[in-house]
Structure 1
């Protein structure tokens, strides 16, 4: 079973969208499990203090390393020993805007393993010593800053969990998605065939599966070239790719 652990100051926010739709059903079926650990439980003193002012001055508060490490150690604790041992299987991830950007490849790596431990930060961040001492991997959802790591953690987990066997009803719906082959996904159409003067591309109604596949690949290339030239450059065999065909059906 894939196990996700979220260390957070707002456990009431979980499971959020992870508890609905196919992910919620998969959890109920035992395909994956979620554990939430309240960081406040490990806080110090009467008020369970988890943070303090930044060394060297500055605005905001910083999560204390002793509090953070205690929470991580409680998850990593070996049930047969009285001491905490480093986790050898599940990575410990700290959600941080300065971390490596999360992508589909990382989602696949997580899905192929036994799970992940996610430390959801708050305030100005986490004391660097805790990150180093507990060998945390810093991962970012993107080039922007959130109020905390919980939303980012949920998004990353959704990306990984939906790849687990048995979660998606049709595995073919995953293999053709954006980023799976280095390209953005082609456009989709359904009923009605004509809507507000816009037609479904005739090639999709032709019944010719070879032509349909060619059209979809061509549209994927064109969309990627237009919207994500960085992805297209990596996909293309040529150092400086030229604009691909639009993929429109010929007259």
Structure 2
């Protein structure tokens, strides 16, 4: 037998054995890689969530935020009958000098309306007749922090009064054809209502559409003479005649 043939056979056997061994090693290697890959792809630690952005803080209310007050309002006459066309108003003082801070719609046939206003200070709530046939007999002080009114706030309106007088100048003659100024002072609330009228040739003067009640009256004619009366009652819906009033010479103090 040729040695080459033997060697060939011997080499063939070794090659087959090596091939089998290589195949086994390759299989084991692939299995190991698969095993490692399975465990490397599965982590035993729980994944951590990404950090979350904290929620934004709620906006703080402005220091200028104020309370809004709301109230239904009902206007009636002295007999309790509803009055149409009256205006609910809110002012700092209940006199005739403060411009309304807020105003409601005219009252309806049932005397009902409402008003809404910012309540940052003490407010006087009342009603107003644009035609000056009626004046409020009461008002409501509304203080900061007051809750909304549920029931209507009833404002009693009384008929306007009329004041008449005959004015005599310091020299004893009638204050004829003079422009006469009148200031009414409330005994508690101070200056309350201004008015003016023209006197006739006899010195007679008439002030219509005045708020009724008790007031101190201060009069001054255009030529300068003045007079301050004691507390005088002006009746609602009537003419109040003060008779003859003797004016005094003008003083250095202003009217």
> Which structure has the highest helix share of the two?
1
TM-score, structure 1 as length reference: 0.22
TM-score normalised over the length of structure 2: 0.22
Q: Relative to total residues, which structure has the larger strand share, 1 or 2? A: 2
